[in-house]
Chains A and B, each alone.
Chain A
């Protein structure tokens, strides 16, 4: 193992240990509250109704978010983006086919897999655990599920950038030279099929946290969709004085176009783009905690990969099952791994870099 890789492994180990505490935090707070108040919710029958009422239309959208709700929102936003020319002339036929297939295919492939996992495998592996935690009050379940789902996705995402062996499974999401609804679900199919947080959510749903999981899933879908959009809806929060306090909290708590666009920039050298960080999906706070984020309130000039060779859509979708025929491509047979490999810096410099304060503390402190 090279020196930078060793330092990187140590940072990953340290951060993963911190993550264990973060997973436990809402559970510990919940039981502490029960202890202080003398509450024992497991002694009462769990209610299957939500503890609040939503307007009928909002409830309808939330209930159907996983079927027609989210695709309908994405298509509507995509039409707005397209009609105001946000894709310019970068949405070529190859990109178009890739984006559309990536939008449709997971809905056909992943859902049956999840159903099989939830209905067949879990009852076999964990026969006594069904609805074991159904007594957990809704808002506590919401907190537990929000941390469980999004922190797990943070790690899945981060490791696909920081471990060279995984990078090419995630490369497809970063190859688009534009931002927008069209590329929000653009992933290699193997990356999508083995999304760890999907299986975690299904398992916790099986254990009785399903209502909260549904709610977390809905909010998360809206936030991640908004963060990928080429509509810079967060800009007013940095521009108008009255909105600035909200913007300050918002950009630290959740992913916004500014922070997530930086993650999709084609460079990290301009002080705006930062594809080596800003890994958060729903919550940006993970990047603050682990020092992997920057906040600049600016948007990159260019997106994608400097070394993009416009590989065939089927190679981007199905690598390593299908390879690209483009010479020098990362997705070609025996192609080089160019992407997010560790920089080849001297050992002393690498150690020095590793103990530097997180970039977010430097940049965000100026805002």
Chain B
């Protein structure tokens, strides 16, 4: 493995992490936020 290979690997893992994290935050955040909103209302 060369330095270039490690760079490609790091980029690959970073992109994969973003593809995982963004939907997790959006889905988890939306459910949590609206749930709090409805509960505060009642």
Contacts and interface: CB of A to CB of B under 8 A. Distances in A.
Interface of A: 20, 23-24, 27-28, 31, 34-35, 40, 42, 129, 132-133, 136, 144, 148, 151-152, 155-156, 159, 163, 165-166, 169, 190, 194-197, 199-200, 203-204, 207, 320-321, 333
B23 A148 contact: yes
Contact of A196 (B11, B20, B31, B42): B20
Given A156-B19, A199-B20, A204 B11 contact: no
A132 B30 contact: no
B23 A194 contact: no
B20 A200 contact: yes
B12 A190 contact: yes
A42 B12 contact: no
B16 A27 contact: no
Given A24-B30, A42-B35, A152 B12 contact: no
A163 B15 CA distance: 10
B11 to A, nearest CB: 6
> DSSP majority for the A interface?
helix
A166 B12 contact: yes
Given A320-B1, A320-B5, A320-B9, A156 B31 contact: no
Given A31-B38, A144-B27, A320-B2, 6 more contacts: A24-B27, A24-B30, A156-B16, A159-B19, A194-B13, A197-B20
A166 B27 contact: no
Contact of A24 (B11, B26, B35): B26
6 contacts: A23-B30, A24-B30, A27-B31, A42-B39, A196-B20, A200-B24
Contacts of A194: 12-13, 16
Given A20-B26, A152-B23, A200-B23, A136 B31 contact: yes
A31 B28 CA distance: 14
A207 B19 CA distance: 19
Contacts of A40: 38, 42
B34 interface: yes
A184 to B, nearest CB: 21
